[in-house]
Structure 1
């Protein structure tokens, strides 16, 4: 069983039906597919698979809740894609906030 599990959604029918994919982050191999992306389903899966130390996930609240309930001692971290996305959004907000000041420097 994985020590570090990646959690993300996948489209069964884009825009209508989504599931959850679980990946062993250390081996980069899929571990399981869950039929939906509800927090209860993820929590139940995590509770059945003890020993998970890290849950790597996106910002979805249902994944955060499921991980908190199902693996309360696991550390939750952002995956690489969302970490970079968060950084980019923070940089955009900073630039937008300071744009008027930059115009005064001309």
Structure 2
């Protein structure tokens, strides 16, 4: 999908669980991806990663009740500002990535002792 594609129409939906994440296109262009976590389609691609851009977009979409996001503090602030009643949750792929990174870190620290034994 390119950045000029029209956003998905979801104005008739009572509530939406949105995933807000950073993306890069071929390592050249960065922006914000917003997709529907329950129905799976991309809702919109914002051409920037700035929290202010996300906050403006979210204010126009009050039916978003749950926001799954990465640990980016800027997105947390944008969501809190634009949709103060929305629930923010950690995106599961980032939880798994963090758990994996922690596990590998522990193994790497323990490896010298394991090799000696």
Q: TM-score range by the shorter chain?
A: 0.7 to 0.9
Structure 1: give runs of 5+ residues left out of the alignment: none
Q: Give the match for residue 3 of structure 1.
A: 16
Which residues of 2 match residues 45-56 of structure 1 at below 5 A?
Answer: 45-56=57-68
CA-atom RMSD, angstroms?
2.3
Q: Give the match for residue 42 of structure 1.
A: 54
Q: Give the match for residue 4 of structure 2.
A: none
Kindly tell me the number of residue pairs found equivalent between the two proteins.
Answer: 104
Q: Give the match for residue 77 of structure 1.
A: 89
Shift of 1:65: 1.7
Structure 2: give runs of 5+ residues left out of the alignment: 1-12
CA distance in 2, matches of 1:44, 1:23: 16
Tell me which protein shows more helix as a share of its residues: 1
Scaled by the length of structure 2, the TM-score of the pair is 0.71
Shift of 1:38: 0.4
Match of 1:20 among 24, 32, 46: 32
Task: Spell out structure 1 runs of 4+ moving beyond 6 A.
Answer: 96-103
Match of 1:63 among 75, 89, 93: 75
Scaled by the length of structure 1, the TM-score of the pair is 0.78
